[in-house]
Amino acid sequence: MSAWDRVLAARDPKRPTAKYYIDQAFDGFFELHGDRLFADDPAIVGGLAWLNGVAVTVIGQEKGVTPREKTLRRFGSPNPEGYRKALRLMEQAEKFNRPVINLVDTQGAYCGVGAEERGQGRAIADNLMRMMALRVPTITVILGEGGSGGALALAVSDRVAILENAVYSILSPEGFASILWKDASRAQEAAETMKLTAGELKALGVVDAVIMEPGGDAKNNPQAAAEAVKAYIAKELETLGKLSVEELVQARRAKFRAMGR
Amino acid sequence: MPLFQRKNQTTLVVVRGAPSVEERQNVSVGEIADSPSIPSGMWEKCANCGSIVYNEDLLRTNKVCPGCGYHFRLSALKRLELTADEGTLNIFNAELRGGDPLGFPGYAEKVEKMRAATGLDEAIVTAEAQIGGYDCVLAAMDSNFMMASMGYAVGEKFVQAAEKALSKRVPLVVFTASGGARMQEGMVSLMQMAKASGAVSELNAAGVPYIVVLTDPTTGGVTASFAMLGDITLAEPGALVGFAGRRVIEQTTKTSLPPGFQSAEFLLEKGFIDAIVPRNELREALIRLLAFHKGVRP
């Protein structure tokens, strides 16, 4: 598969979304709403759930399934209140010593007037800063599209894994081509250059693991994909659970500190 | 040395081969871009009021339009010179450079061209300095260098500046300007946002003050990381500060944006910055703020 094929697979409307994984890989999900400051952002779903009998906080960017739901959820592009809800839930997890599992699937943070008025930049920055120091284990799985800072705001984690056909990039290939070549139609060419595929990101050290999609594509066998994600999270939670809080935070800091070196 | 008093001469410990501040004034964006431009060096046109301003006058006002008060963009070296006490500026990491992780066509050449045009190795300059007698670590970004986009070198230099402030327990003062993440370095650029924000969290834990001065323009991945994390955040009048670009927002929302959207004044109204301070009062404002952190009334 070319990089562009992966971009298309990651965007495929038939690809399972975050809510599917929350329902299949976890059980007893109790959704918690709102950022306590402004609103509840439907682009981010979060709450408490069990994973193999372990109580966790799970947060996901949800694109929506039906057309009406997609519009309501802005196709998974969060507003600042979405990031602030996520941060509220992560800090709550820290308070009660629960691991945090984040599921990323977004084209990017929402670009709107209200988003700017309510400090999209500040909201993302806060998450990056707080996640780096969070005193509980954190695992992020990139399920579909990992779009820029809007994805990173849920991905400063002890473990960052990516599904085989998911992509994670500095910007959409269209945006990249538009900025660097003044020609958004060269998106396909951009995708091949950007090192946005799972294998390339693993080689760069940007992600820690690639989770294979049974049947070659999560949409062919969503149930098996959810099982694979669950198995990965369970295994890594066990590994991370053996570290002291200090070791955990130090290792996380060291990992991101070394990126790009 | 008395506070609130500047001498006219500032000794710069400058990167090797760098043109002097005066020479740098003559490098217009038009020249860097190799596009045809009116021979510059004598005057510039104010982007706000349209008046023709002689460079001689701009030098005197530190690039503030004498007619309307519009703040022209300032080079990083000039910024450091304006801010630090005479003879205290000690630039470090001047030669720290990034790589070309995507092997992006033309990127290495573009960076070389920028180096030749600006005399800088990268888009941020970091220094140890005193401001009003207070020790600090000072950094300034330079929009002349690839619109001060953040790739590995910018992220790494910011983090090393924060680490120096941390180890010396002195305030970190940063003048931001940036078009956002540097596209040509791909995900390596995005990761600098996490790295830089993490460095600020260490300052927070240690109680080391971090003061940000937002200058025109500060956008994208820099806004969504270290620019918005200051203990105290100041901005120059009229500076453009935002996350998403104007055009992107207009395309996404199919609406046109009101005038003044994403200006420093807009951010003040929305509650995201502490104060707007004109350029020629910034040094004095910083000295007053640093005194509070020292806890000794001057």
- pLDDT value of residue B40: 59
Contacts of A158 (CB under 8 A, 6+ apart): A137, A138, A139, A236, A240, A248, A251, A252, A255
Residue A259 in any domain: the answer is no
A245-257 vs A120-133: helix crossing angle, rounded to 10? 130
Total domains present in chain A: 1
- Its sign, for the CA torsion B251, B253, B258, B264, is negative
Exposure string of A59-72, with b = 16+ CB inside 10 Å and e = fewer, is: bbbbbbeeeeebee
Find residues 93-112 of chain B whose CB sits inside 8 Å of chain A: 98-99, 101-102, 104
- Using the Cβ of A195 and the Cβ atoms of chain B, whether some distance falls under 8 Å is answered with yes
Residue A20 in any domain: the answer is yes
Provide, as residue numbers in chain B, all residues whose Cβ is less than 8 Å from the Cβ of A183: none
Contact across the interface for B186 and A121, Cβ inside 8 Å:
no
CATH number, domain with residue A231: 3.90.226.10
Residue A258 in any domain: the answer is no
Instruction: Using CB atoms, pick whichever of A112, A153, A206 lies closest to residue B253.
Output: A112
Alpha helices in A76-172 (DSSP H): 80-95, 113-117, 120-133, 148-152
Q: Count H helices and E strands in chain A, helices first.
A: 12, 8
Which of B294, B279, B10 has the alpha carbon at shortest distance from B134?
A: B294
- Using the Cβ of B257 and the Cβ atoms of chain A, whether some distance falls under 8 Å is answered with yes
Instruction: Using CB atoms, pick whichever of B99, B186, B201 lies closest to residue A194.
Output: B186
Residue A184 in any domain: the answer is yes
Interface test with B, best of A129, A172, A250 (most B CBs within 10 A): A129
Residue A172 in any domain: the answer is yes
pLDDT greater than 80 at residue B27: no
- Using the Cβ of A119 and the Cβ atoms of chain B, whether some distance falls under 8 Å is answered with yes
Determine whether domain B73-294 maps to CATH 3.90.226.10: yes
ipTM of the complex: 0.98
pLDDT greater than 50 at residue B8: no
Distance from CA of A63 to the nearest CA of B (A): 16
């500040």: which residue's tokens? A122
């959409």: which residue's tokens? A172
Burial class (CB in 10 A: 0-12, 13-18, 19+), A254: exposed
- pLDDT value of residue B255: 87
Distance from CA of B246 to the nearest CA of A (A): 9
Tell me the CA distances in angstroms from B5 to A98, A187, B284, one per residue in order.
Answer: 55, 55, 9
**Which structure tokens are listed for A207?**
């992600």
Distance from CA of B195 to the nearest CA of A (A): 5
Tell me the CA distances in angstroms from A159 to A207, A249, A256, B82, one per residue in order.
Answer: 8, 12, 11, 44
**Which structure tokens are listed for B22?**
């005066």
Tens-of-pLDDT digits for all 261 residues of chain A? Answer: 999 999 999 999 999 999 999 999 999 999 999 999 999 999 999 999 999 999 999 999 999 999 999 999 999 999 999 999 999 999 999 999 999 999 999 999 999 999 999 999 999 999 999 999 999 999 999 999 999 999 999 999 999 999 999 999 999 999 999 999 999 999 999 999 999 999 999 999 999 999 999 999 999 999 999 999 999 999 999 999 999 999 999 999 999 999 987
Residue A247 in any domain: the answer is yes
Contact across the interface for A125 and B223, Cβ inside 8 Å:
yes
The domain in which residue A225 lies consists of: 3-252
